Structure 1
């Protein structure tokens, strides 16, 4: 019987070492693993120019260029900073912006293969893990856009690999580098803190408890905190809007995606059907139960803990995507050993992988026409969130220029996407700086006290009458290039006059997290 505390010292786990040191790992299957990474990169490159900026991309570009700060209501500073740097080099190029997620997704494929190698997986296990990661619907879809859901999972994968490597070698440098990567991840989203909570709980529950006594772990923590101080100060100064946003996100998911009951099924499905879903379930079981994976069992516990925390705190299924390679790799190692049930032995085979490629690409990437789902009760999320931003700015500018008087007039977008579009595209069309009552845009500033008139894009007339004495709908955005359901098709444009309260009070009342 195995003593649960037998892996709590600071030596490499017995099951994972050879005489004289850590267990040697198989050779890295560089050719096929990197081949999968290159293939994914080429596919993403082929679709990188589709449609236009996605709403979140536009938000990052606009805030990074015009409203940069150490923090925002929904994310820290890293993505706006990156987006603004790319826009400075390649103005108006969403194609250039998407090189970043393309490279991260391709690199994630390689790191996924390296995790399987650390688990003792040979060529087959490494290729299965890399290919399953590449065909994960969530990973492939997020690889098309620069978003927190792209950057965050990639950095989780790198941290996961470094922690697995430490578990095999006990190299403290692995922990220090994990701290550096964690510090970077915290500048994009704070979620990786959940991953470390899971790792700590797993180490306490099943070992190696010596992990918590390693000075390198505390060095990693100091690095993370030191780098994160500026964005934490911003959150404190603004009463922690990030925490409020997590509650808003949870409520949105409860309403739109089935809440807690829908989170786990969606996470499994978005791992990819059928391969990713099977590897996910099988791999978690193996990570928790397989004797030869005993040194890494704490990571299986971490997966469970993180999933429970996310179910309680946020309910976004894709928040767990960064842990996919850990369980994919555990499953792939057992597949390579032939330790899988006969009834699903056919799943991780090359014909199934080959058939999964067109399915994954069609369902997750913008290879369809923008109106490809017209006639059915589905919304193409990528097309919907990417089409028509210049049109929205054009038609708003036309309304603005047609006003009898533009003195003391501002423009506002109802959603943070619409405010971003007006801010980014509007200035070259003669519009003033844009404002918005939603999410991060509310924190970028309010209209001047002298403002008497607002050109308002989006929103609901009844809601607006709470704040203005005169609400006149003067038009609606039309996108002649598509009949698809999009974020901009038919969006109303209002002219608002006679604010019912002074702007400091009015702005607080209009705020929508």
Structure 2
């Protein structure tokens, strides 16, 4: 299972670049949420399994809260994804040069460095799903029991990051059956692999079942446009090509064709089409199919590189790839100064970029409001979303002074709702965010806007301009009002 030196160099360069820019801008709202979620151990959360939150909380503690060091793990995950692309190319029959090319084109897609910059579920799901597909290709070509068990192990671990990998495997099974390779699924190996994957995913699935499958409501919110990265169904396919990259989309399309033309690999093209259709119909996010990208690119670089070699245009293509990777880097990585024209374009292409800027300023605003409270001992912070609550929770964890100054944060949003309502003695609340007035009126006797969250450099994100209210007096106890304040989105 040797990997060409060029593929390792590619992975190393990508990892170094990601670590170098890891401390720029700030935490993403999901990172703030994951760090706090990792301190509330449970078999599951309403919106996700627990592996990434546990990793986030543990690694954040290990690195002492330094942002650049916190993002070393996602940088490693992104780098390993390029290695998996190289290994997949080898399984598909690629030479060493093909394998290096597979690593390179995977490294310069928009999705790999973009997710490798953030400690997100997508970062680790991309690596896990790409690994599962690589191992599945191996198992189909060398159907040993150990090969199949590795497929189940990879899928099971990935399912504790995001259960979407189980749908990927289902799409692959459809492709295998449709292409007449169903005999491969009749052996014990695939069934043992499926059993192992389900066994490893069972804690989260059982937790979801016992809580009425809240993940379905979260998925419905995504389909309705409730997430920053939600997409209209008609835009899923164009956006998926954008996440590959306009220039890299050429070997991507070639890869789908290359796989289709080979009867023993045709199942992978069908699996991608089936999964893409599932994402469109269900209203999923455009990056959900990204786990297929390394395998398809690994297939596509072989005919692309051979065609270029025959016409002595390989160097020209390499220069073109390097040139078009420059805007990709600015769109996917925190390179442009916040508020600059390039930054504005980058956030228009990748809205998550805007969600990494402004949190320290927002926390400063809450500090000022809290300093003016004479009854801070009986106060809490009530946040509309988990990003706002996570920013307060992290500040309290990182500083003894903030632990004294900032009241504890509560929210009815997703996992925070599971961690319970405020204590009965908390009759004063600093309320953050865009709340419906009826919800506040049915919870507090009085609410007064005392400040607003202002983003630096006039950055337009989900928090910019959000009111900060000082609310006093409870209309009814928290135990009675909490259910009305919770939401899954």
Question: What TM-score results when the alignment is normalised by the length of structure 2?
Answer: 0.91
Paired residues of 2:179 and 2:263 also in contact (CA < 8 A): no
CA 1:46–1:414 in 2, change beyond 3 Å: closer, same or farther? same
Structure 2 spans left out of the alignment, 5+ residues: none
Count how many residue pairs are aligned between Structure 1 and Structure 2. 479
Pick the aligned partner of 2:338 from 360, 370, 386.
370
Pick the aligned partner of 2:145 from 172, 196, 199.
172
1:292-336 deviations in whole A, cap 9, x for unaligned?
x32111111111111111112242010111101221122222224
Please state whether the residue corresponding to 2:448 is helix, strand or coil: strand
Post-superposition shift, 1:387?
2.5
Paired residues of 1:257 and 1:263 also in contact (CA < 8 A): no
Match of 2:444 in 1: 468
Pick the aligned partner of 2:253 from 277, 281, 284.
281
Pick the aligned partner of 2:28 from 22, 45, 54.
54
Post-superposition shift, 1:337?
4.1
- What are the within-5 Å matches in structure 2 for residues 336-415 of structure 1? 336-338=305-307, 349-373=317-341, 379=348, 381-406=351-376, 408-415=378-385
Match of 1:331 in 2: 300
Matched, 1:35 2:9: yes
User: For residues 134 and 388 of structure 1, what CA distance do their matches in structure 2 show?
Assistant: 29
Post-superposition shift, 1:488?
4.4
User: For residues 411 and 249 of structure 1, what CA distance do their matches in structure 2 show?
Assistant: 26
Task: Return 297-306 or 390-399, whichever deviates more.
Answer: 390-399
Matched, 1:497 2:466: no
Please state whether the residue corresponding to 1:279 is helix, strand or coil: helix
Matched, 1:436 2:408: no
CA 1:336–1:478 in 2, change beyond 3 Å: closer, same or farther? closer
User: For residues 229 and 279 of structure 2, what CA distance do their matches in structure 1 show?
Assistant: 17
Match of 1:20 in 2: none
Structure 1 spans left out of the alignment, 5+ residues: 1-26
Post-superposition shift, 1:216?
2.1
Paired residues of 1:166 and 1:174 also in contact (CA < 8 A): yes
Pick the aligned partner of 1:239 from 204, 212, 217.
212
CA 1:142–1:258 in 2, change beyond 3 Å: closer, same or farther? closer
Please state whether the residue corresponding to 1:497 is helix, strand or coil: strand
Matched, 1:309 2:256: no
Pick the aligned partner of 2:43 from 62, 66, 70.
70
Task: Return 153-162 or 446-455, whichever deviates more.
Answer: 446-455
Paired residues of 1:366 and 1:382 also in contact (CA < 8 A): no
CA 1:312–1:121 in 2, change beyond 3 Å: closer, same or farther? same
1:263-311 deviations in whole A, cap 9, x for unaligned?
0100011101212x122222212212x1xx3211111111111111111
Post-superposition shift, 1:365?
0.4
User: For residues 421 and 351 of structure 2, what CA distance do their matches in structure 1 show?
Assistant: 30
1:4-59 deviations in whole A, cap 9, x for unaligned?
xxxxxxxxxxxxxxxxxxxxxxx956121112111111211210111222211111
User: For residues 10 and 216 of structure 2, what CA distance do their matches in structure 1 show?
Assistant: 38
- What are the within-5 Å matches in structure 2 for residues 217-232 of structure 1? 217-232=190-205
Please state whether the residue corresponding to 2:429 is helix, strand or coil: strand
Match of 1:260 in 2: 233
Paired residues of 2:229 and 2:352 also in contact (CA < 8 A): no
Pick the aligned partner of 1:424 from 373, 394, 397.
394
User: For residues 38 and 106 of structure 1, what CA distance do their matches in structure 2 show?
Assistant: 7
Match of 1:94 in 2: 67
Post-superposition shift, 1:509?
1.2
Please state whether the residue corresponding to 2:365 is helix, strand or coil: helix
User: For residues 348 and 294 of structure 1, what CA distance do their matches in structure 2 show?
Assistant: 33
CA 1:287–1:375 in 2, change beyond 3 Å: closer, same or farther? closer
User: For residues 34 and 405 of structure 1, what CA distance do their matches in structure 2 show?
Assistant: 58
Paired residues of 2:308 and 2:314 also in contact (CA < 8 A): no
**CA RMSD between the two structures:** 2.6
CA 1:374–1:355 in 2, change beyond 3 Å: closer, same or farther? closer
User: For residues 362 and 192 of structure 1, what CA distance do their matches in structure 2 show?
Assistant: 29
Please state whether the residue corresponding to 1:163 is helix, strand or coil: helix
Paired residues of 2:305 and 2:314 also in contact (CA < 8 A): no
Post-superposition shift, 1:341?
12
Matched, 1:192 2:168: no
User: For residues 233 and 256 of structure 1, what CA distance do their matches in structure 2 show?
Assistant: 28
